[in-house]
């Protein structure tokens, strides 16, 4: 099913306020992406998913109290159609494999966000 890019409602989750602002600023250049909420913890992210029902969640892996893989499992349990992209500062093959096998739509190292996110958006458009 093709997603209308003008309606990609996005939740950005990271425990770094600086990274949150950076990603939101980057996403603002895409008219088809609407950041509906941000969250600084997995628990806040789960509440935001329940409230805003985003199409896309950009989710940091390393969060306090619950990691991104655990949060992603809960998101998929409640909203299986929601795409979750894991963002992390740790690009380790085992972590990448676990996230993708756990149902992540994509796995993006934080250092590659500006390079890889445009391709991800194009992938969502054509899905």
Instruction: Sort strands 33-39 and 8-13 into parallel, antiparallel or unpaired.
Output: parallel
CA 114, distance to chain mean position in Å, is 14
In this model, does residue 5 exceed pLDDT 60? no
Sheet containing strand 83-88, strands side by side: 33-39, 8-13, 56-60, 83-88, 106-109
Reported residue count of the chain is 127
Give the pLDDT of residue 6. Answer: 59
Give the pLDDT of residue 126. Answer: 73
- Give the pLDDT confidence of 39-72 residue by residue, as tens digits: 999 999 999 999 999 999 999 999 999 999 999 9
- Give the pLDDT confidence of 107-125 residue by residue, as tens digits: 999 999 989 988 888 888 7
In this model, does residue 3 exceed pLDDT 60? no
- Give the pLDDT confidence of 20-35 residue by residue, as tens digits: 999 999 999 888 899 9
Domains of the chain: 5-126 (3.40.50.2300)
Which of 104, 124, 121 has its CA nearest to residue 113? 121
Mean pLDDT of 76-86: 95
């Amino acid at each position: 099913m093709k997603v209308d890019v003008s309606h990609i409602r996005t939740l950005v989750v990271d425990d770094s306020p600086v990274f949150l602002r950076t990603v939101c600023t980057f996403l603002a250049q895409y008219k088809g992406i609407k950041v509906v909420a941000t969250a600084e913890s997995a628990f806040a992210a789960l509440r935001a998913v329940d409230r805003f029902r985003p199409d896309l969640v950009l989710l940091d892996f390393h969060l306090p109290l619950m990691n991104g893989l655990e949060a992603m499992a809960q998101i998929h349990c409640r909203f299986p159609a929601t795409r979750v992209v894991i963002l992390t500062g740790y690009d380790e093959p085992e972590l990448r494999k676990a996230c993708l096998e756990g149902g992540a739509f994509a796995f993006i190292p934080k250092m590659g966000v500006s390079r890889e996110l445009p391709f991800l958006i194009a992938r969502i458009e054509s899905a």
